[in-house]
Chains A and B, each alone.
Chain A
Amino acid sequence: MKTKLMTACLLAVLVPFAQADEKLAAKVDKLVAESFRAGPGQDMSRLTQDETQKICSETRNSPTPAQIQAINAREQATIKYPDDNKLMGDWKNGEKLVKGGFGMRIGNIEPDKVERQKGGNGGNCYACHALDPKEVAAGNLGPSLAGYGALRGSSEEIIKYTYDKLYNTQATVACSNMPRMGHFGILTPAQIADVTAFLISAESPLNKK
């Protein structure tokens, strides 16, 4: 009885919230539809949310345990590996990719050059992470990755964890602030293997004191 009452109360609180959120999300979709101008140079499909983006928006990046499970499983399924299945590539190329900006800016006011609109020329990692200790202009939205391989080693497990993280971080961290680099084609599987090597290889400057 008591538990029933409690669940009834809980439901009473939860249900209107959920409904209100759905209504709010629908209103925001409408707002978005009215606020960007379609036309040459634009790409309206970028405003359509996938299921994961929807849940992360509606829950303000605090998904429920069930939603976390669903997101992790869905995103894990998106991960693709390089043709040769080598997850450690060329760390020197990885270094270049880590430094390069994203590209992919569109619109008519200040678009990137056409070739950069398709994919980035890098992963823009310094925007959010410290990596090579010599690079001081590092952001801090993500954790410091200095000494990443030196600290964690280079086991198969660490290599796969790192590759997967770069390809689609939401396979492990639902609603992470890190972009899903492989999933959205910011980096190709071969490039992700190169960046993985940059993080893990003992020769990489990131692992040098």
Chain B
Amino acid sequence: MKLKVISLGALALATPLAWGEASVADYRAALADKDANPGMLIIDKGERLFHEKRGPKNVSLEKCDFGLGPGKIKGAYAQLPRYFKDTQKVQDLESRLLTCMTTLQGFKEDELKAKLYADQRLNEDNTDMEAIAAYVSFQSDGMKINPPLKHAAEKEAVKLGEAMFWRRHGPMDFSCATCHTEDGKRIRLQGLVNVFKPTDIQATMSTWPTYRVSHGAVRNMQHRIWDCHWQMRTPDIDYGSPATVALISFLTYQAKGGTYDLPGMKR
């Protein structure tokens, strides 16, 4: 395992150019063996943290309900986002995790939100929340993307998410649609997913959470949504907020029928 991670480092050095699609494909080919994905280390860490008694209430997350019942995490991510009766909200993996960490374990929401993500500029290790989300999502590896679309709130979230996707704001006039509605488009050399092309969006959503080589960290979909808003020059979009969940509901629904291949590996 260690050896493979080292050879990965060597690959990174051999290709100092900006990360184009081809180089990521090279990576993936070199890494047909999933154990060599550095994200697996983070998933191991997430597994430990999930089962550990933590927080002011000193309990584990083993009773957390991700939609299939308390403690049932096998396949749960594949059926998110979904409506939850207890919170009366549609929630994605990360916002649900936040609910469990605050209600079950007694963590303070503001404290958790004060440090959501590892800072790649400082070479930080993934935060506990990033690691746990990676672990829980990994329990749906190989399963079909199958978010329920039964509850009225779930349907509303997809519809609002699509409208949000087209909302232009900020000093660049950007909406998500500016960059993600056509085939074969690029920002510089970075390929852009077309969310209206099923094979394209399936390949995208099935590989999140993903190990981002340029960050040296596992990132989840909440981070990607924040990252694209940051590029749009908006204020920070709030973690787990209704707009993030609506966008993720829309994107996940577009990708329905794809098969999770986790953790992903990207630029």
Listed in ascending order, the chain A residues whose CB lies under 8 Å from chain B are: 24-25, 27-28, 31-32, 34-38, 42-44, 46-49, 53, 56-57, 60-61, 102, 104-110, 126-128, 137-141, 177, 179-180, 184-186
Q: Which residues from chain B contact A32 at a C-beta distance below 8 Å?
A: 164, 167, 169, 243
* A151 to B: closest C-beta gap in Å: 23
A–B Cβ pairs within 8 angstroms, 10 of them: A31-B164, A38-B235, A42-B235, A46-B233, A107-B235, A107-B236, A127-B187, A139-B187, A177-B173, A184-B172
CB neighbours of B171 from chain A (8 A): 46, 104, 179, 184-186
With A27-B163, A34-B243 known to touch, is A61 a contact of B177 (CB < 8 Å)? yes
CB distance from A102 to the nearest CB of B (A): 7
Name the B residues within 8 Å of A138 (CB-CB): 188
Chain A residues whose C-beta falls within 8 Å of the C-beta of B116 in the assembled complex = 109
* A139: contacting residue among B117, B163, B169, B186, CB under 8 A: B186
- CA–CA, A36 and B121, complex, Å: 24
Asked whether, in the complex, the Cβ of A179 is within 8 Å of the Cβ of B235, the reply is no
When the two chains form their complex, are residues B236 and A42 in contact, meaning their CB atoms are under 8 A apart? yes
Query: Is A141 a contact of B179 with CB atoms below 8 Å?
Result: yes
Whole-angstrom distance between the alpha carbons of A61 and B241 in the complex?
Answer: 26
The distance in angstroms between the C-alpha atoms of A36 and B233, with both chains bound, is: 13
From B179, B184, B190, B235, contact of A44 by CB (8 A): B235
Is B168 among interface residues, defined by CB-CB distance under 8 A? yes
Tell me the nearest residue of chain A to B244, going by C-beta: A35
Task: Determine which of A28, A35, A36, A37 lies in contact with B163 in the assembled complex, contact meaning CB atoms within 8 Å.
Answer: A28
Cβ contacts under 8 Å, B231 to chain A: 105
Contact call B241/A46, Cβ cutoff below 8 A: no
State whether A36 and B237 are in contact (beta carbons under 8 Å apart), knowing that A128-B187, A137-B18, A184-B171 are contacts in the complex: yes
Chain B residues with CB under 8 Å of A43's CB are 235
Q: What 8 A-B pairs are tightest by C-beta distance, nearest first? A: A35-B243, A35-B241, A42-B235, A107-B236, A184-B171, A179-B172, A53-B168, A139-B187
Tell me which residues from 216 to 267 in chain B have a Cβ below 8 Å from any Cβ of chain A.
Answer: 226, 230-231, 233-238, 241-244, 246
Closest to A104 in B: B233
CB atoms of B189 and A36 under 8 A apart:
no
In the bound assembly, the distance between CA atoms of A57 and B170 in angstroms comes to 13
Q: Collect the chain A residues with CB atoms within 8 Å of residue B187's CB.
A: 127-128, 139, 141
Q: B178 an interface residue at 8 Å Cβ cutoff?
A: yes
At the interface, yes or no: B105 with Cβ under 8 Å from chain A? no
List of A residues within 8 angstroms of B186 by Cβ: 139-141
Alpha-carbon separation in the docked complex, A43 to B231 (Å): 14
Q: Once the chains are docked, how many angstroms separate the CA of A137 from the CA of B117?
A: 29
Q: In the complex, how many angstroms separate the beta carbon of B79 from the nearest chain A beta carbon?
A: 23
* Most chain A beta-carbon neighbours within 10 Å: one of B167, B231, B238: B167
Q: Mark B120-164, 1 if CB is under 8 A from A, else 0.
A: 010000000000000000000000000000000000000110011
Is B170 touching A46 in the complex (CB atoms < 8 A)? Answer: yes
Docked-complex contact A46 and B237, CB < 8 angstroms: no
Contact A28 B164 (CB under 8 A): yes
The answer to the question of B175 belonging to the interface, with a C-beta cut-off of 8 Å to chain A, is: yes
Whether the Cβ atoms of A109 and B166 lie closer than 8 Å is no
